[in-house]
A and B are shown apart, each in its own frame.
Chain A
């Protein structure tokens, strides 16, 4: 069955199909079972979400359905005004992702294309900051946010309880990881590219904006995918730094809603699954970027 002889050994090994052996069949049976077990909790949530509460409370959850419908999804969506919370998330996530990429790419450019003495230290500061657990900094941050008055700029008049506050902490925190990844990426670009332009008298901004940045598109795309999912999924920052339920992004709003509006588990299941849909869409649409972002550079092959 092995037909590919050309290309490199690595790709040939990839494309090669081994003939069907009993061991292969056993492996597939095992993997199918495991995959089903892994999808199990999600499928169970979907099943619960598709059944009316009246039916499950009467017959129990482990029972044959009389009727399956998407009513719980529409109810969860309308009852809790989910559109509003999705918009809140957008208001936070879009600027946060763009700003993180912009700021971290500038730092990465600085540390990777020039030989300043401070480079290594700067990169260490960014990377280590990103690895800290958020709870390490939350107490002073919370006080700081309460202290900073921004009358007229944010709804709350403070940094606390505002989308701006969340954007800032996301950018500050995530730029550590992005600066690190992008600086490695930029270091791999041939230095002649920028050197020649510099000799010709181009400004450093031009080097960054017109030469280096366009070449970083693949890395930026991968990071953008990762960041969108991480920021969308944020629960902790919003939980602590937002006090008004109205201002919450969708993930932390769900926590409030499940106590406030939802009276039955089927509806909570529907709400939870609805919340997960955007990340699943991003993941399925940009799977390659997501996985390559997560392991950026780990694959030398």
Chain B
């Protein structure tokens, strides 16, 4: 996460803005002949410069990650780069006590987010969509955490989880030495403690996405359903929810990517120590930690890359295809 503490939602954005119901034609081929040589040069620069920056820093480095994953390198000089084939991967899969827990935690992260904050966000959105009073006030309360940095959220939640000074232990009387419940340090508890903080934030985000989706639902559908005598739950289940399909796809993709990107909260909490290992944390530890095992760190990054692309590519292809057909 971090700079992208909120994952972007291309599909939601793929729908043209209000007022653009009919897809606009672009310049027919013939008009491109109107472009002078200078125009073509301008266009080339306009698209070229941003593309070079983006490709160099994002895609070339991603490719470099793949290459480095098959080497060992201590990072000092290029001479020490050695090709080792699949060694880093076999080592990672069979000999790293942190790897499989990290994979598992990333999966738990996704499952937890999809099972709790997502339905809750949908539920809140449905309630707030009923044009009730103070809707905006409620929305703000739920959405406030989304605006804040995950690092700051980590600090705020530590005030709740700290063993000696935290809110929970103070309330239940577990803040005396010897009686601590160590929400941050106990490997059986800490992931869940962090996930509550993550869910707290994710709920508001899901709520906003669903609210936007619900606003797009044709009001006549509701009217028709009411005329047919359907109750609120039947209307939601049979009429409203099916029309939210595009939103659901966005929510699913966003949540998977958020789960893969999860980093800031864990880093602020306990730096991914026992119980909260994540793939993102393992990669980072290889850079800013004491060890500088670049090939090895890259191998973990490649695992992350493969999983991400397996989600991103089919999703984007479907999105773009739909858009083309529109």
Contact = CB atoms under 8 A, between A and B. Distances in A.
Given A141-B57, A280-B144, A296-B17, A240 B287 contact: yes
B268 to A, nearest CB: 6
B131 to A, nearest CB: 6
A134 B7 CA distance: 11
Contact of B1 (A103, A169, A236, A276): A236
Which of B7, B143, B165 neighbours the largest number of chain A CB atoms within 10 Å of its CB? B165
B10 interface: yes
26 contacts: A27-B132, A38-B203, A41-B200, A42-B144, A60-B175, A115-B28, A122-B51, A128-B309, A131-B7, A135-B263, A136-B301, A144-B61, A185-B16, A188-B19, A195-B27, A198-B31, A203-B39, A219-B17, A230-B4, A240-B287, A294-B209, A295-B209, A296-B12, A298-B212, A298-B250, A299-B18
A184 B294 contact: no
Contacts of A137: 57-58, 61-62, 65, 301
A48 interface: yes
Interface stretch (A28-36, A67-75, A150-158): A28-36
Contacts of B14: 180, 184, 297
Contact of B151 (A15, A107, A252): A252
Interface of A: 9-10, 13-18, 24, 27-28, 30-31, 34-36, 38-39, 41-42, 44-45, 48, 56, 60-62, 103-104, 106-107, 109-115, 120, 122-144, 168-177, 179-181, 184-185, 187-191, 194-195, 198-199, 203-205, 208, 219, 229-237, 239-240, 251-252, 254-255, 258, 265, 268-269, 271-273, 275-276, 279-280, 282-283, 287, 290-291, 294-301
Contact of A42 (B58, B156, B197, B284): B156
Contacts of A233: 2-3, 5, 148-152
Given A124-B316, A135-B284, A298-B15, A10 B59 contact: no
Contacts of A39: 141, 144
B109 interface: no
B17 A297 contact: yes
Contacts of B148: 233, 276, 279-280
A187 B46 CA distance: 17
A129 B26 contact: no
A61 B167 CA distance: 7
A240 B284 contact: yes
Q: Chain B interface residue count: which class?
A: 35 or more
Contacts of B247: 298
B137 to A, nearest CB: 7
B312 A128 contact: yes
Given A141-B57, A235-B151, A134 B320 contact: no
B2 A301 contact: no
Contacts of B128: 31
Contacts of A142: 287
Interface centre among A41, A198, A236 (most CB of B within 10 A): A236
Interface string B144-168: 1101111110011111101001110
Contact of A41 (B19, B160, B171): B160
A6 to B, nearest CB: 15
